[in-house]
Each structure stands twice: as structure tokens, then as C-alpha cells.
Structure 1
């Protein structure tokens, strides 16, 4: 799966879960500051990424995922559905 495909799936999840205009989602979008996601929102989002991409995201790795671009890179490197 290409990084563009991963980005599009993540952007769709964000648009749906956080009710954000799909066109405003970029690689630089920050989960905590731009989405105002609390810890529960973020954990649920991480779980959805794991389900969607078949990737195991450890708690330590999740703590370091701050932007959409970082999530795309992580999924590209760790996805079971390549």
C-alpha cells in the first residue's frame, strides 16, 4: 500500500471520527493541537488504525505519533496489509 493510499484512509478516519472537513486534513495536521483530541479520542483513533491497517501500535509508538504524516510513515513501515 502506498503512502498516498495510507494517507487517504487515515484522512477518511479523521474526517469521520473528528468531524473535520476532509479537505483540511494534511500531513502536518497535529492530532492533539489541531483536532483537540483528548486521550480517550486518541486511543480510540489508534485502535481504529490498528484495525484498518493490521498494524500493532505500541503505547510508546502511539505517544510519538503527533501528526498525520508521522502516522502515515509508521503505518507504511509496520502495516501487515502491504
Structure 2
């Protein structure tokens, strides 16, 4: 899970121009990190590419915090190896 958090830190800090230290599990994507709709789409696309997964809009609309994203990616990674 730490690897997923580190990758999210890399992606979000690069895309949003923020300090990686701000990307913590409890950070709210919009309120704390300032993600807008375009950022959101780009981040989802990047995650799909990096992890070779598909993230349907019906799933991604439930992402509120960094932890939500981490758990989702972790679950997808587990299913790929099962």
C-alpha cells in the first residue's frame, strides 16, 4: 500500500504542482488538494495507464480522498494477481 501512496504522491504533485507531503491518505481530493474536473480526468487516465487497469466513471465518482483512490487501486491490483 505504501508503493501506491508513493505513486499517487508522484502523480498528484506533478499534475497539480503541489508538495508531495500534502498527499496524505486523509487529504480530500477537491477541498485539500484543489483537484478540478480536468485534473480529475487526467489523474484517472494516468492511474489506468500506470496500473494497467480500467476505472469506470461509476467507480471514480466515489473517490473523495487519497485513501479512497489507494484502496481502489490496491483492490484492483489484488484481483489481477488472484
Does TM-score exceed 0.5, indicating one fold? yes
Pairwise CA RMSD of aligned residues?
A: 1.6
**Structure 1: 5+ residue runs without aligned partners?**
none
After TM superposition, the score normalised by the length of structure 2 is 0.88
Instruction: Give how far 1:31 is off.
Output: 1.1
Aligned length: 80
Q: Which of 22, 37, 40 in structure 2 is aligned with 1:39?
A: 37
Instruction: Give how far 1:24 is off.
Output: 1.9
- Which protein has greater RCO, CA pairs closer than 8 Å, 6+ apart? 1
Regions of 4+ moved over 3 Å = none
> Aligned equivalents of 2:81 and 2:32: distance in 1?
28
